[in-house]
Amino acid sequence: MPIEIKTSSEIESMRVAGRLASEVLDYITPFVKPGVTTGELDRLCHEYMTGVQQTVPAPLNYAPPGYRPFPKSICTSVNHQVCHGIPGERVLKTGDVLNIDITVIKDGFHGDTSRMFCVGEPSLAARRLCQVTYECMWIGIDRIRPGAYTGDIGYAIQKHAEAHGFSVVREFCGHGIGRRFHEEPQILHYGRPGTGVRLEAGMIFTVEPMINAGRREIREMADGWTIVTKDHSLSAQWEHTVVVNDGGYEVLTVSAGTPERPEAVLRAATA
């Protein structure tokens, strides 16, 4: 499949889907507290998506080739879980950090975004990993403009992560998105400038770096979905869906609760 260039009406539909995905994260934020189970967070998000938004939770029964159907409506990845964590009986406790990854479908279009959440007061090291990973996502996004390469994004992310002594997960990447959940191009979160795909206005894809405090190697759990770090070190991830435009880019997964861009870090990274 070639890389789709979205029309202005498709981009408008993706803006709506992106805002709705981000609003699910806004909605769930006050519920992320010690004592709640990840299964309860899933139930609440599922009710909000299907009942209030009238969106379809894209993860539910999602089954790419080689995978069994994903059994829940959101992904919750706690501490050393890297991504694709399945919500369940696990009770969140103070000191945990977790990623909540939301993908909604509205009028046939996907919006995909995730944030890190602190439960109570995590360690300084855990909060630092979440912050640096957030900076990594933005430093990558900030490379996006027509004529730039996907490798420019990956290079910028890898450089920032490794400067802090962290590592970049290689096995999962950002992806084109639209009427399909995962489309081309692949957006690697590591690499070399000037390599990969040349960006054009109208491309829509995610940037979603997974950054480990320790080594980059991962392992898949017996549930067939949950990815964890091999060395049990903490892992963090943030995700936005972005459209390339003539001026550079527009982030589509924005809502009232979207955290601010880290301006100082972006200035330092381009200096």
Nearer to Co ion, 96 or 239 (CB): 239
Q: Do 244 and 203 form a contact (C-beta atoms < 8 A)?
A: yes
Give min distance, CB of 253 to Co ion, in A: 10
In the DSSP assignment, the letter for residue 213 is: S
Give min distance, CB of 194 to ligand MF3, in A: 26
Give min distance, CB of 76 to Co ion, in A: 12
- The footprint of ligand MF3 (CB under 6 A) covers 59, 62, 70, 75, 84, 101, 103, 112, 206, 208, 225, 239
Give the interface segment with Co ion, choosing from 21-29, 64-72, 145-153, 239-247 (CB under 5 A). Answer: 239-247
Environment class of 12 (CB within 10 Å of its CB; exposed 0-12, middle 13-18, buried 19+): exposed
Identified binder of Co ion from the candidate list 206, 212, 229, 237, rule CB under 5 A: 206
The closest of 122, 211, 104 to 161, measured between CA atoms, is 211
Give min distance, CB of 267 to Co ion, in A: 27
Regarding 55 and contact with Co ion (CB under 5 A), the answer is no
Q: Do 138 and 165 form a contact (C-beta atoms < 8 A)?
A: no
Nearer to Co ion, 115 or 143 (CB): 115
84 binds, among Co ion, ligand MF3, none (CB under 5 to 8 A by kind): ligand MF3
Dist. CA 104–CA 209, nearest whole Å: 20
Q: Do 185 and 203 form a contact (C-beta atoms < 8 A)?
A: yes
Nearer to Co ion, 158 or 237 (CB): 237
Q: Is the dihedral of CA 262, 264, 265, 267 positive or negative?
A: positive
Give min distance, CB of 225 to ligand MF3, in A: 6
Nearer to Co ion, 194 or 228 (CB): 228
CA diameter of the chain = 48
